[in-house]
A and B are shown apart, each in its own frame.
Chain A
C-alpha cells in the first residue's frame, strides 16, 4: 500500500524530469536538459561564487524578514486592537500597500544610500535598496494578518479577561497577543514567500546574490546556470518557509490538530 503510493509519487518526479529531458533534447537549442544542468550544478557547488551568492541572498532575506516582523507584528496588533490608533495610521499605509514592492526599485536605487561599514577586519556593504524591497514584500502580509488576527478574536475573550481583573495591558498580553498569533503565523509564512519573490527581482535588477547570478547567467550565455540559480532559490525558499512553519507550530501548541 505505502510502497505503491511511493512508487506513484516517484513516478511523478521522474515524469517531470523525463518531460524536461525530452523537451531539452527536441526543443529549442537554448534549453539545457537535466544532464547539462546537473553538470553545471556539480561545477558550481565547488565554487565560492555560488556560496557567496547563497550567503548574500540568505542574509538579505533574513535581515529584511526580521525587520518586517519586528515592525509589522506590533504595529498590526496595535492597529487591530485600538480603533483610534488604527484610524490615524492605517489609511496612510493603505495608500502605499497596493504598490507592488518591485515597482519601488527605481525609487530605492535613487533615494536609498548604500550603507558601508567595517567591523575590524571584515567590511560590509549593505544594499539598503534591496533590503527595503525585500522588507516591503514581507511587511504587508505580516501587518495585514496581524490586524486580521486581532479582529478575529471575539470581544468576549477581552470581556472575560477584564471581568477576571485584567488591566488593559494584561488583556493585550494575555488575550490579544496570543489570540492573534495563529494569524500572525500565517502572515509570516506568506511574508517569507513574498520576501524571496521580491528579493530575486531586486537582485536581478540592482545586483548581487542569487538573483543576479541567475540573471547574469542569461546575459553571459551560460544557460545551464540559470537553472542552477532557479533550483537553488527554490530550495532556499522552501527551507525558509519550512523553518517559519516549524517555529510557528512550536509557538502554537494549543491549536486544534497541532501535534506539539
Chain B
C-alpha cells in the first residue's frame, strides 16, 4: 500500500487494465543489467552514432579474459596488472599524503574557530587555503608536470607530477570535511567532558576527534573518488604507466577493446576502493553508521 510500491501512480497490478504480477526484485535488477548490455550490443551492431568503431560487450568480455591471463596491453610489454598497480599505488599514495596533511590542518582550523581558543589559526590559514580550493585539481596538471620530475626509485620510475595532482584532488575534500566535523560538534559535549574533569588534551582525544571522525572519513572517501578522477586525467596527459595512460594509448593505436577494458578496470577499482573505505569506516566507528 505504500507509495513506494507504485509506479508513477499506477497501481502495480493494474497495468493496462489487466492484473499484472510484479516480477520479484532480483529479476527486476537482472532485467536492468541485461538491458544495459543489450543496448550496448545493439548500439554497436547497428552503428548508432559512431558506435560501429567501438567494441561490443562480448568482445570486451573476451578481451578482459585475455588480459586477465596476462597479455601485454597497448603496444607495450606490460600486463594490465602492472598498469592497474601503478594507478592504485598513485591513488593510495596521493590520498595518504593528503590525509596526513589535511586532517591535522583541518583539526587545527576547526578547533581554533571557537572563541577564546588561543591563536586564531583559522584566520591565518583559511583565506590562503580557500583561495586555492576553487582551482580544479586537473587544472594543476600542466603546472605540476612543469615542476615535478619523474624520479627513478629502485628501478621504478616515480612520476611525482601525477602524485601531486592526486594529492591536490584528495586534499581539499578531506580538509573541508575535517573542519566541518569539528565545527558541527555541539558545545555541550565539550562542556560535559570538562565538567567530568577532562583536560584540554583529553577533551580533544575523547570528544572532539571521535565526533569529527565520521566526517573525516566521509572526506577520505570523497578524496579517494576524486583521486581516481584525477589519476586518470593526469595519466592520460602525463603518464608513462597506468590505466589512464593505456586507455588513451589504446585510442591512439585504435585498439578499442583496451579502451573498454581500461574503463571496466578503472570502474571496478574505484568501486572496490569505496567499498573498502566503507568497511574500514564501519569497523572504526561501531557507534555510528555513516554513508560514505
Contact = CB atoms under 8 A, between A and B. Distances in A.
B166 interface: no
Interface stretch (A38-46, A64-72, A95-103, A118-126): A95-103
B251 interface: yes
Contacts of A82: 4-8
Interface in B131-160: 131-132, 134-143, 145-147
B3 A171 contact: yes
A26 interface: no
B270 interface: yes
Given A16-B131, A103-B263, A197 B147 contact: no
Interface in B224-252: 226, 228-230, 232-233, 236-237, 243-244, 247-248, 250-251
Contact of A95 (B36, B127, B236): B36
A102 B236 contact: yes
Interface stretch (A48-56, A181-189, A198-206, A243-251): A198-206
B132 to A, nearest CB: 8
B196 interface: no
A58 interface: no
Contact of A197 (B36, B126, B136, B145): B136
Contacts of A78: 8
A229 B128 contact: no
A103 B126 contact: no
A168 B3 contact: yes
A99 B131 contact: no
A233 B123 CA distance: 25
A85 B29 CA distance: 10
B266 A103 contact: yes
Contact of A218 (B50, B127, B142, B251): B142
Given A12-B123, A230-B143, A85 B8 contact: yes
Contact of A13 (B51, B131, B274): B131
Contact of A84 (B7, B49, B247): B7
B134 A241 contact: yes
A68 to B, nearest CB: 16
Interface string B22-59: 10010011011101100000000000011101100000
A112 interface: yes
B275 to A, nearest CB: 10
Given A12-B125, A89-B32, A99-B263, A168 B2 contact: no
Q: Sort A-B residue pairs by CB-CB distance and give the 9 closest, nearest first.
A: A168-B9, A106-B251, A218-B142, A87-B28, A234-B135, A92-B36, A238-B134, A99-B267, A8-B123
Given A100-B228, A111-B54, A234-B132, 17 more contacts: A10-B127, A92-B32, A92-B35, A99-B264, A100-B229, A102-B229, A102-B232, A103-B244, A103-B263, A110-B259, A111-B49, A197-B226, A205-B236, A214-B142, A215-B141, A215-B237, A238-B134
